[in-house]
Chain A
Amino acid sequence: MSLNLSTPAFEIIRNGGKCILCQVCVKQCANNVHSYDAEDETISSDDSKCVNCHRCVSLCPTRALIIKKYPLEFRENANWTGAAIKEIYKQAQTGGILLSSMGNPKSFPIYWDKMLINASQVTNPSIDPLREPMETKVMIGRKPDKLEFDAKGELVTKMPPQVELSVPIMFSAMSYGSISRNAHESLARAATELGICYNTGEGGLNKDFYKYGNNTIVQVASGRFGVHKEYLNIGAAIEIKIGQGAKPGIGGHLPGRKVGADVSATRMIPVGSDAISPAPHHDIYSIEDLRQLIFSLKEVTDYKKPVLVKIAAVHNTAAIASGIVRAGADAIVVDGFRGGTGAAPTRVRDNVGIPIELALAAIDQRLREEGIRNQVSLIIAGSIRNSADIVKAVALGADAVYIGSAAVIAMGCHMCHSCSTGKCNWGIATQEPELVKRLNPDIMHRRLVNLISAWSHEIKEMLGGMGINAIDSLRGNRLMLRGVDLNEKELEILGIKYAGE
């Protein structure tokens, strides 16, 4: 079929007055957008191949390049938008399902932006974190119903295993395979330096990274790639992945071309074979089955590692969470519908799941009502964009948050939504050696450390403003939040009052 109705998404504008024909753009574009014509001594750019990742723009020494939205318009129509029409052209051309990367980009409400944080004025003093101690440390794990001490004041109660985090932030599960070795190394080194954790994702753990084990959460997902006794024991905690916010109910698929020798060894699958994670765990069809897996993992690790269970935020999340607590999990991870991914069916990414803010509030409320909130830590994920989102999440009841998109953005991701092509120009979501090289772990782990340090300072400032000197004292303290632009039902679910109340 020679007829192709697709049109470029972006237009590349080159300022001839500034362009020095150095060809950095030509050499750096993995999509071959730019090409140099030696005969005419000109550089031309093919708009249709551009994904707007800004690699050329960022590296151009004279700032000669600008990338804009392609100006071609369809007749204005509020229902049949250009995006809707183009998707139909694409599917009529290929006959395939649409694939997208990163999180849900649609204009659903962002509840973080409809909640405002309190501060102390007159009647209670605020605290200056630069002058007074401020605690941001959290412990992830099951907490006993009560603590008992002997006559000498020594703790008698046997504490379940805990993971200590210096700040309530962790790097989300991103497997080695979906992201590059250098990206993985950057996350591991940053987590170790910061005293927090990163997550292996469903790709196993390369032996070279065992040295970061104390700051690693090892994941067990439906494909069970790279899972063995040593792997389970090397991490600080184990996470059973049931679902992912970007694609609830859907499994995963790492194409064979991304499974090179190193990824193959780590995942324990043949080189070049597709790594397919089934949608369900084939041994989990009930809460009782989940309990069996949780205790199998506890057994193999001698009950020394907390077991986390990760689910996507869906309609009955609160009831599901209650079941997970009763199944014996030490922490629940809930991933909202804006959570990122390397690849997901577009329709699933954009239409399945619920906002994390509502899921978090509902779960925390339900677990409290049932008197089992202390039995688990509650970790949320799914598009935490800044430190204020974290403060609001903690006030709604979260123990800690996972950041994935924010972490890759810190490493240079420009949210071009092209992870699935494997041609990430920033060396993050790729396995091609010359692209992986572009991500220097020495530079990128430093940027991750900087980001978390900056957020940590901001969290302390906001805590101090509220007159609180420990993040634990904010947890579930919903009186520190007020809503704006929310209806009665939303306020009820979030458990917060309207601004002015």
Chain B
Amino acid sequence: MKKIYAFESKCLGCGLCEVYCRTSHSKSKDVIKAHKQEDITSAIVIEEILQPGTVSYFAVQCRHCKSPKCIKACISGAMYKDEKGLVRNDKEKCVSCLSCVLVCPFGAIKESNDGKAISKCDLCIDYGTSLCVENCPNDAIKLLDEDDAEALK
């Protein structure tokens, strides 16, 4: 299964991935409306890493682990692995207990701004294409098979 990989050496910290993540998960799918009329939590977050003399950035998003702790911890059965291996959250079942947020070793799951569920990367499966990958101006985010990603690291 292809997953989203972020490469720190290329990331500029511009935050466009966050903008397009919100757009992809909005009702309107329009950049301006998604931000002006809706309150969406981006599933990808740019973290600043302070280093001596400079700052570098790293995009944090779901790794779709082989044996995901978030699924084990989920009390309502909302977290599940789909047939492709994608870790997803069923908003209907989610009770916002935030157990998944607590156990995720990568900090890749966030509480939704609306407080009704959590926000995590689903590769924009409903949108069709992964918008953060398409719109990264420096090719720092890529949709890759695990082996290809390891080769690039």
Q: In the complex where A61-B19, A443-B139 touch, is A18 in contact with B32 (Cβ < 8 A)?
A: yes
From A20, A28, A61, A437, B36 is in contact (CB under 8 Å) with A20
Interface string of B1-30 (1 = CB under 8 A from A): 000000001111111101110000000000
A437 partner residues in chain B, CB cutoff 8 A: 9-12, 138
Main secondary structure of the interface of A (DSSP, over half): loop
B55 partner residues in chain A, CB cutoff 8 A: 434
A59–B13 Cα distance when bound, in Å, is 12
A68 within 8 A of B: no
Interface residues of B in 89-140 (CB under 8 A from A): 135, 137-140
Residue of B nearest to A432 (CB): B54
| Contacting pair B54 A434 (CB below 8 A) | yes
B56 within 8 A of A: yes
A24–B19 Cα distance when bound, in Å, is 9
A27 within 8 A of B: yes
A305–B40 Cα distance when bound, in Å, is 62
From B11, B12, B31, A61 is in contact (CB under 8 Å) with B31
B35 partner residues in chain A, CB cutoff 8 A: 20-22
| Contacting pair A434 B14 (CB below 8 A) | no
| Contacting pair B18 A22 (CB below 8 A) | yes
A440 within 8 A of B: yes
A434–B54 Cα distance when bound, in Å, is 7
B13 to chain A, nearest CB (A): 6
Residue of B nearest to A20 (CB): B35
Q: In the complex where A27-B13, A433-B54 touch, is A61 in contact with B135 (Cβ < 8 A)?
A: yes
| Contacting pair B56 A434 (CB below 8 A) | yes
From A18, A61, A433, A440, B16 is in contact (CB under 8 Å) with A61
| Contacting pair B56 A59 (CB below 8 A) | no
Interface residues of A in 404-463 (CB under 8 A from B): 432-434, 437-438, 440, 442-443
Q: In the complex where A433-B54, A434-B54 touch, is A443 in contact with B19 (Cβ < 8 A)?
A: no
A17 partner residues in chain B, CB cutoff 8 A: 32
Given contacts A432-B54, A433-B54, A434-B13, 10 further A-B contacts (CB under 8 A): A20-B32, A20-B36, A22-B15, A27-B12, A28-B12, A59-B137, A61-B20, A437-B10, A437-B138, A440-B140
Residues of A within 8 A of B (CB): 17-18, 20-24, 27-28, 58-59, 61-62, 432-434, 437-438, 440, 442-443
Listed by A's residue number, 12 A-B pairs whose Cβ atoms lie within 8 Å are A17-B32, A18-B32, A20-B35, A61-B31, A61-B135, A432-B54, A434-B12, A434-B13, A438-B12, A440-B10, A440-B138, A440-B139
